[in-house]
Structure formats: C-alpha cells, structure tokens
Structure 1
C-alpha cells in the first residue's frame, strides 16, 4: 500500500459536527482524520519492546498539529500502514501543496489532546481503542 495523505480523508462539516457520522466512516478514513492520534498511541502501546515514537504534522510556522503518526527506526505507521518516513511526509506535502514540519509529541495522550484540541478515547461516539487495535493488527510491522 502506498502512503496516502491524511487530507484525502478530511472530515466534512457534518462529520465534524456529528460523532456518529464520523464514527461510521471506513477505518482508514476514521484513523486518517479525527482519530489518527488514537491509532498512533495504540501502536506505541502495542509494542512496548520497541522504541516507538510519536510525531505530528503541522504546516510550517503553525503550532497546531493536524495529523499524528507513530515512528520507529525511520518508519512510520498511520492510517495507510507502515512506510518509510520520507514517503509519508512526501505524500502529505504533495497533497497539501504547503511546507510541512514533523514534530515530536509528548508521551502523554491527555497532554497532547489538551494542547491540540483532540478527543480522548472516552469522548468518541464509541470506544476507538478496540477499533484501533484491530486496525493495527491488519498491518505487518517492518521488523516482522
């Protein structure tokens, strides 16, 4: 699977305002836009034996992170699976047609959510954690 820009799956105004409608999107769309941070934290927590990091994309000179992914040894994991980090960055940069920055994120999910206006797992229409674990399990990590 090729790295796909998160913006391809940007939520519509209805999906932003109605949690049920957002929840009913495909797994890839759900984890590309609206729950990418949940997927990244689940990936990190699922592999405690690996030094999985957390990173976010933002537009250059903008403090707001709009896409989150997991990192490991030059690889990334997000809605489009495992890819070398340059591929993920290029897909998003090309789609957005704007300079992007990748930034390291704090280890604490609540701290991230508070700083970046993101939902904690209990704030979704349904529990996104089992859904994220199942989605992660469909993607073979590069070390396997």
Structure 2
C-alpha cells in the first residue's frame, strides 16, 4: 500500500461529533485519523518479541501530536501498512506544507492518551482493539 499522509483522511466535523459515524469509516481512514494511536500500540502488542517503537508527528514548535505510528528499524507502520519511515515523514511534510517534528513516544497508551488528549479504547463507539489487530494482521511485517 502506498504511503499516504494521514491528513488526507481527516475526519469531517460530522465525524468528529458523531462517534458512530467515525467508527463506520473504512479501516484506512479510521486508522489514519482518529485511531492511529490505537493501531500503533496494537502493532507493538502483536509483535512482543520485536523492538517495536512508537513515534508521533507534530507541527514544529507545537506540543500536540497529530499522527502516531509504530517503528521497527527504518520502517514505519500506520494506516498505509509498512513503509520506509523516511517516506512516511516526507508524505506528511509535503501534505501539511509546514515543518514537522518526529518524536519518540515512550509512554504507555493510557499516559499518552491523557497527555495528548487522545481517546482510550473504551471511549470509542465500539472497541477498536480487535479491529486494529485485524488490520495489523493484513500487513506482513518487513522481517518476514
């Protein structure tokens, strides 16, 4: 799957206001915008024997992370599957047309969600974790 900037799939105002409407989006838009952090942690949990990291993108100089993804070596996993991390960074910078910072995220999911004002799994219309694990399973990891 080709690298695509997360912003391509931003939720509409109606999707932001209606959790069920947001939930009913196809998997790629759902995990690109609104549940990317859930997907990243599901990826890490799927491969406990691998050193999967979590990284985030934010606009330069800002604190808030707008996109989260899993990392392994020089690869990144997000809504577009496994791709070179450099390609993911370039696609998002080009789409946003402003400088971005990549940050390593060392918090657990709950701490991250509190600090970044992201939803925990129980705050979605339905549990996103099974959906995220299914999505991860459809994208072979780069080490196979």
2:38 equivalent to 1:44 = no
Equivalences for 1:90-105 in 2 at 5 Å?
A: 90-105=90-105
Q: Which residue in 1 is equivalent to 2:30? A: 30
Moved over 3 A (4+): none
Q: Which residue in 2 is equivalent to 1:118? A: 118
| Aligned mates of 2:142, 2:108 — CA distance in 1 | 25
The gaps in structure 2 that reach 5 residues or longer are none
Q: Which residue in 2 is equivalent to 1:141? A: 141
| Aligned mates of 1:42, 1:95 — CA distance in 2 | 26
TM-score w.r.t. length of structure 1:
0.99
Q: Which residue in 1 is equivalent to 2:80? A: 80
The gaps in structure 1 that reach 5 residues or longer are none
Q: Which residue in 2 is equivalent to 1:8? A: 8
| Aligned length, in residue pairs | 144
Q: Which residue in 1 is equivalent to 2:21? A: 21
Q: Deviations over 1:66-120 (max 9, x none)?
A: 0000000010000000001100000000000011111011231000000111000
Q: Deviations over 1:18-53 (max 9, x none)?
A: 000000000000000000000000000110110000
TM-score w.r.t. length of structure 2:
0.99
